[in-house]
C-alpha cells in the first residue's frame, strides 16, 4: 500500500521546508542552530499540520544526533525514564546530547514533566516539545523556564500554493496522474492553513477518481462530502464546532451551547481547552454585567484540572449554561482594546502628572514630585476630584458602561456622581 502523500512529501532538508520563514528563513533561529550546532531545549507551539514534527526531525538529522520520540498520549513516567537512561548511555559515545521529541507535550501531567527536569538540567537530553496548546498553561514552570518557545503559524495561501505545486510536480504518483489545477479556493479553505490536511484532501480526491485528476472547487467539495470521516479524523469540523460553541454562549442560547459542548466532548476535545475558552468568554463577553461569571469560570477551570473526565462534563455543562444565560457586556474588552489602540499610535510619551509621581529622593521632592496629591481615603466617601490622566488627555473616555444591564447602569451612575460631565456616559 502506498504511503500517504503527506509522508511521501515530508521535507528532508531545511531548504525543502515550506512556511515558518520567521524561524527557518535566511536569518531564522533554526538556521543558526544548524550552522552552530548549539541547540537549546525548545517547545514548538502551533496549530496542527504546520510542520512541528518535521522541523524537530530536520534539526536532529542535520546535526547527526540521536533522536528519541515519545507521544504524550501513550507514554508514561516509565517510558520517559527508559529513554533518558538510553540517552545517558549514548552520551558516553557522543559528546552532544540526544534529542527527545515529545509530541503533544501538553498532555503530560506534572509527574511526567517532573521526570524530565533532571535530564534537561544535566544536558543528558535536549528536549523538543510540540503542542497545539499554550505552553504557559500546560507546561510546568521549572521545565518551561529551561526551554525556548517558538510559535509556528498556520500556512497562508501563498505557502499552500507552493506546497500544492511541489506535490504535483515532484511526487511520482501524482505526476503519473496528470493533475490539472483549475481552482484552489475550496482546497485552501478546507485546508485551513494545515499542510497535512491539504495533502490529505489531495489523497482523497486522487482516491475518488481514476486516471487524470482535476482540482477545482466542485471536485474538492464533493469529494469531502463523500469522505467526511476521512477528512476529519479528530472530530467532525473541529474548528467550526469550537466557533459555534463560543458564538452560542455569546449569543445567550444555552441549548445550542450544550449541543456543541457535547459534540466537542464526544469528538475527544481536551476538556481543559474548553474550560479555558469559558474563562475567556466570561471576561470578554460577560465581563462587568456579571462579575461572578469569571469566578465560576475559574472554578470550573480548576475543577476540570482536578477531576478530569468523565465527571468534568458536568462542571463544563453547568458553567456553559450559566455563561450562556448570563447578561452580556464586552465593555471591559472594548475599553482595553481602545486604550491599547490609542497607546500604540501615541508616540508623544505623555508625562505622568507630577502629583501622581513618587518622590524617593530629595531632588525629586524639590522638583514637585508627589506634591498636591490628594489621598482619597482622607475625603468623604473616599473620593475627591483630581486629575489622573496626562493633562493632554484629560477627559478621554475608554470605558463605556453598557446601559442595558443593571450592574453597569449602577457603575455609570457612580461615575457620573464622582466625575460629573468630565467623562461621557
Predicted TM-score of the model (pTM): 0.56
- pLDDT tens for 233-274 read 444 456 678 888 999 999 999 999 999 899 888 877 788 889
Q: How far apart are CA 8 and CA 174, in angstroms?
A: 11
pLDDT at 231: 41
Per-residue model confidence (pLDDT) at position 323: 95
The distance in angstroms from the start CA to the end CA of the chain is 69
CB atoms within 10 A of CB 343: 10
Q: What's the pLDDT at 230?
A: 44
Q: Which stretches does DSSP call E strand in 157-223?
A: 179-181, 213-215
d(CA 171, CA 191) in angstroms, rounded, equals 19
The CA distance from 44 to 308, in Å, is: 25
Nearest to 164 by CA among 326, 5, 392, 285: 5
Which residues, 6+ apart, have CB-to-CB distance to 122 below 8 Å? none
Query: In sequence order, what are the residues at sequence separation of 6 or more whose Cβ sits closer than 8 angstroms to the Cβ of residue 367?
Result: 354
Looking at the DSSP bridge assignments, the partners of residue 214 are 180
Q: Up-side HSE of residue 126: CA atoms within 13 Å toward CB?
A: 22
Q: pLDDT value at position 300?
A: 95
Task: Check residue 95 and give its pLDDT.
Answer: 63
Maximum distance among all Cα pairs of the chain, rounded to whole angstroms? 88
How many Å is the Cα radius of gyration of the chain? 27
Distance CA 287, CA 337 (A): 14
Sign of torsion over alpha carbons 340, 346, 349, 353:
negative
In tens digits, the chain (425 residues) has pLDDT values of 468 888 899 999 888 999 999 999 888 899 888 888 888 999 999 888 888 999 999 988 888 888 888 887 787 788 888 888 888 887 666 667 889 999 888 888 888 888 888 888 888 889 999 988 888 878 888 889 999 999 998 889 999 999 999 999 999 989 888 899 999 988 988 887 888 889 989 988 888 888 899 999 888 888 877 654 444 444 445 667 888 899 999 999 999 999 989 988 887 778 888 999 999 999 999 999 999 999 999 999 999 988 888 899 999 999 999 999 999 999 999 899 888 888 877 756 678 888 878 777 777 677 777 788 888 888 888 888 888 888 878 888 888 888 888 888 888 888 888 888 888 75
DSSP state of 236: T
Amino acid at each position: 500500500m502506498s504511503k500517504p502523500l503527506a509522508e511521501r512529501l515530508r521535507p528532508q532538508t531545511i531548504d525543502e521546508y515550506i512556511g515558518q520563514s520567521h524561524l527557518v528563513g535566511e536569518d531564522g533561529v533554526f538556521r543558526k542552530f544548524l550552522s552552530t550546532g548549539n541547540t537549546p531545549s525548545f517547545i514548538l507551539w502551533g496549530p496542527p499540520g504546520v510542520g512541528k514534527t518535521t522541523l524537530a526531525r530536520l534539526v536532529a538529522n542535520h546535526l547527526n544526533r540521536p533522536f528519541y520520540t515519545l507521544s504524550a498520549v501513550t507514554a508514561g513516567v516509565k517510558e520517559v525514564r527508559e529513554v533518558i537512561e538510553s540517552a545517558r548511555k549514548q552520551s558516553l559515545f557522543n559528546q552532544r546530547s540526544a534529542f527527545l521529541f515529545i509530541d503533544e507535550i501538553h498532555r503530560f501531567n506534572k509527574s511526567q514533566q517532573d521526570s524530565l527536569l533532571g535530564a534537561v538540567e544535566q544536558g543528558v537530553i535536549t528536549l523538543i516539545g510540540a503542542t497545539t496548546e499554550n505552553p504557559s498553561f500546560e507546561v510546568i514552570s521549572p521545565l518551561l523556564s529551561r526551554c525556548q518557545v517558538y510559535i509556528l503559524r498556520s500556512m497562508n495561501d501563498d505557502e499552500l500554493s507552493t506546497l500544492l505545486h511541489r506535490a504535483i510536480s515532484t511526487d511520482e504518483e501524482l505526476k503519473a496522474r496528470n493533475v490539472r489545477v483549475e481552482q484552489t479556493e475550496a482546497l485552501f479553505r478546507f485546508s485551513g492553513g494545515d499542510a497535512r490536511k491539504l495533502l490529505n484532501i489531495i489523497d482523497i480526491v486522487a482516491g475518488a477518481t481514476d486516471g487524470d485528476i482535476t482540482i477545482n472547487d466542485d471536485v474538492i467539495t464533493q469529494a469531502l462530502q463523500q469522505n467526511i470521516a476521512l477528512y476529519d479524523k479528530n472530530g467532525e469540523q473541529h474548528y467550526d464546532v469550537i466557533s459555534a460553541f463560543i458564538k452560542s454562549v455569546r449569543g445567550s442560547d444555552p441549548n445550542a451551547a450544550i449541543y456543541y459542548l457535547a459534540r466537542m466532548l464526544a469528538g475527544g476535545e481536551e476538556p481543559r481547552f474548553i474550560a479555558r475558552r469559558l474563562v475567556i468568554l466570561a471576561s470578554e463577553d460577560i465581563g462587568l454585567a456579571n462579575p461572578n461569571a469569571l469566578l465560576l469560570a475559574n472554578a470550573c477551570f480548576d475543577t476540570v484540572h482536578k477531576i478530569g473526565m468523565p465527571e468534568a462534563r458536568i462542571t463544563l455543562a453547568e458553567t456553559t449554561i450559566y455563561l450562556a444565560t448570563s447578561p452580556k457586556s464586552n465593555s471591559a474588552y472594548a475599553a482595553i482594546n481602545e486604550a491599547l489602540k490609542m497607546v500604540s499610535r501615541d508616540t508623544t510619551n505623555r508625562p505622568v502628572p507630577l502629583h501622581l509621581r513618587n518622590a524617593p529622593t530629595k531632588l525629586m521632592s524639590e522638583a514637585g514630585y508627589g506634591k498636591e496629591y490628594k489621598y482619597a481615603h482622607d475625603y468623604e466617601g473616599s473620593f475627591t476630584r483630581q486629575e489622573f490622566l496626562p493633562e493632554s488627555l484629560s477627559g478621554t473616555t475608554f470605558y463605556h458602561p453598557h446601559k442595558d444591564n443593571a450592574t453597569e447602569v449602577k457603575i455609570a451612575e457612580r461615575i457620573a456622581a464622582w466625575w460629573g460631565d468630565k467623562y461621557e456616559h
